[in-house]
A and B are shown apart, each in its own frame.
Chain A
Amino acid sequence: MTIFKSFTVKAAGLTALLTALHVAVGVLPHPAHAQASDASSAAFASPRHFGQKDGAALYQAICQGCHMPDAKGATGAGTYPALAGNPNLEAAGYPVAMVVHGQKAMPPIGEFLDDDQVAAVVNYVRTHFGNHYTDTVTAADVKAAR
């Protein structure tokens, strides 16, 4: 997917850094990087797909990059909103669409995750950080949102 996307990007304009690198790095089959420092083999599974399966691990591998480990968000010249106690999470379809398609400063992550992973991370965020939504998102919901 990323490979095709990077070709699209290339066709749409010269994209400096990326295309060649995705092509170069991306196509190789991905070894289990067992020699690497840490035991969690889910980390850095592939440049095109996250290896983590459960919601907490996915949150820590992806979301906290911007929304921060405590989900309180951060502000500089722009802002990453808090997910902690965020009423926008009430309608489950909203975070699902956000993860899959992105919006403004939020990049789309859908291409790097399968439906189960999207569901897992959305369910995690909607039940942690002061959010207590009891309805769960299923892989089928995610599939429909793609």
Chain B
Amino acid sequence: MGFRDMKRRDLLSLIGTVAGSAVMYQAATSLGLAAETTYKGPIKLDGDAKGASILILGAGVAGLVAAIELRKAGYKVQVLEYREKAGGRSWSLRGGDTYTELGGFKQTVGFDKGLYINPGPWRIPYHHRAVLDYCHRYGVALEPFNQVNYNAYLHSAKAYGGKPQRFREIQADYHGHVAELLAKLTHQNALDGTVTKEDQEKLLESLRGWGGLDKNYAYAASLESSNVRGYEKAPGGGMNGAPVPSTPASLRDVMQGGLWRFLGMGLRDEFQSTIFQPVGGMDQFPTALAREVKDLIRFNTKVTEIHQDDHGVTVTYTDTVKGGAAQTAKADWCLCTIPLSVLSQIKLNVGPKMASAISAVPYEAAAKVGLQFKRRFWEQDEAIYGGISFTDLPIAMIGYPNSGYGSPGKGVLLGTYVFGAYAMEYTAMPPEERIKRALAYGAQIHPQYTKEFDTGVAVGWHRVPWTLGCHASWTEETRAAHYQDLCQVDGRIALAGEHASYITGWQEGAVLSSLDAITRLHQRVVTA
């Protein structure tokens, strides 16, 4: 095989073998493959596991990935999971499901067949290479998640008379006025001395296209601006086909309206296209992983104590369905993926450094509300196909389904997705009240809400019995004080999960942390 025939991956694994992974990473970066991830492709746990056994606590994505890989590497694996199913926070709620939150508030989901919401994770960016690799390897079908929909709304109760504006119009007006201002300054020679004349010419040309400026470099009612922000009357066919341009908002209105604040999210690395969602719900991802290791998982199993000594690890648990006396499981090693909010309450004999790290990280509040409507009015009446509308009302956003476009029946959208104080307030309400709130606020954006509402379900994450919160909330200070201690193997125990990563609040963090922890554990086993 000649060099030219080599695929990039082959070349990379060659460089990897010859020169070690740092060089490999550099090479991958220069080939444009790996700059945005530390994922190095499928994990290789080479070397003899010597029949060692391991207990994995928690069957979220961190625990599932570890179970798959450690079994492959020759370990005797047992997984203990509190819930009745695998997936943890990677969870979907469908018609017929029941969900009982802390305090005993029980909801039965009334959605139609095939309709669901993801109360937790809902999107996977293209650079989450580890998650995507596992999706591809285990047959999880993916479809686009529309982060930015130009025809969805931006809304503030106190701007534009409370009338929702199309994302497209706000962005066009914001860009248009910025472009016009910069063009004016250029023409007034304000950039002389800073920018060469030649570059000023190019800048002017680019501003015209980017901003939708007319031939006089004005952002005004024109075909150029309408080409960006949309028309008063769109081009059509026949006698009446001529377009009528729309009139942009004034710079003052754009600035005062404040909706420009919503424009930035989709520009951020974490939210850039392409973003995916698993077809049929986020839980399809862990479900595919769990299929590989279902014989290893003990469900309805609440871990209450973790004890290690020179010989191994003993985990005490209770069966949450059958009850009865506490039982124990033993193994040589333990990988614990229980969220810190819960783990900090479990008796665990690790050193003081890891112990204080476990207690140092609070969990963010979040709440989501899913609403089923009798018809997909956002598509039928408003031509909004997927994506997100943003508002300063206490629902923060409305997320439209990114699948099933044009279906005649009912439709489910995400009617609230909030953090911080709003999320705490939702969580403190009974579920019906959360739904009522979501409806009342959302009706200010979609008046159809009132007539078309059918049924809903609401999740406040601090009441989710098995995580007590949304995700680990690190600060620079707590990272500096505790992060390394949290990730360090302590005797026979290693921790993994979203909280043991720099990508908190993403499944990618959970998977990368798990792969890192089992790599380090495995090294210990092999070299022991």
* Minimum CB–CB distance for A50 against chain B, Å: 6
Within 8 A of B (CB), among A11-37: 11-18, 20-31, 33, 35-37
User: Is B462 a contact of A23 with CB atoms below 8 Å?
Assistant: no
Q: How far is the CB of A111 from chain B (nearest CB, A)?
A: 9
Please, which residues of chain B bring their CB within 8 A of the CB of A68?
Answer: 102-103
Q: Looking at chain B's contact residues, is the secondary structure mostly helix, strand, loop, or mixed? A: loop
Q: Separation in Å of the A71 CB from the closest CB of chain B?
A: 11
Q: Which residues of A contact B462 (CB under 8 A)?
A: 65-66, 107
Chain B, residues 467-498, CB within 8 Å of chain A (1/0): the string is 11111011110110000000000000000000
Is the Cβ of A20 less than 8 Å from the Cβ of B502?
A: no
Nearest neighbor of A103 in chain B, beta-carbon distance:
B359
Across the interface, do B157 and A12 meet the contact criterion of CB distance under 8 Å?
no
Closest CB-CB distance, A101 to chain B, in whole Å?
A: 9
Q: Count of chain B residues with Cβ under 8 Å from any Cβ of A?
A: 75
- Which A residues from 96 to 119 make CB contacts under 8 A with B? 102-109, 112
A105 CA to B422 CA in the complex, in Å? 18
| Residue B421, interface by CB 8 Å | yes
Does A105 lie within 8 Å of B265, measured CB to CB?
A: no
Known: A2-B420, A112-B420. Contact between A13 and B103, CB under 8 A?
no
In the complex, what residue of chain B is closest to A107 when comparing beta carbons?
B362
A29 to B158, CA, bound (A): 9
**Total A residues in contact with B, Cβ cutoff 8 Å:** 61
Kindly list 18 other residue pairs between chains A and B, CB separation below 8 angstroms, not including A12-B476, A23-B264, A62-B428: A8-B475, A12-B502, A14-B504, A15-B471, A16-B270, A18-B505, A21-B417, A31-B157, A36-B394, A44-B394, A46-B421, A61-B425, A63-B428, A104-B344, A105-B342, A105-B344, A106-B362, A112-B424
Interface residues, chain B, with chain A CB atoms under 8 Å away: 82, 102-104, 156-158, 258, 261-262, 264-265, 268-271, 302, 338, 340-342, 344-346, 359, 362-366, 390, 392-394, 396-397, 417-422, 424-425, 427-428, 436-437, 439-441, 444, 460, 462-471, 473-476, 478-479, 501-506
Q: Can you list 20 A-B pairs with a CB-CB distance of less than 8 A?
A: A2-B420, A8-B476, A9-B475, A12-B478, A13-B502, A14-B504, A16-B270, A16-B504, A18-B364, A20-B264, A24-B261, A25-B418, A29-B158, A29-B258, A33-B393, A47-B396, A62-B425, A77-B342, A77-B465, A104-B341
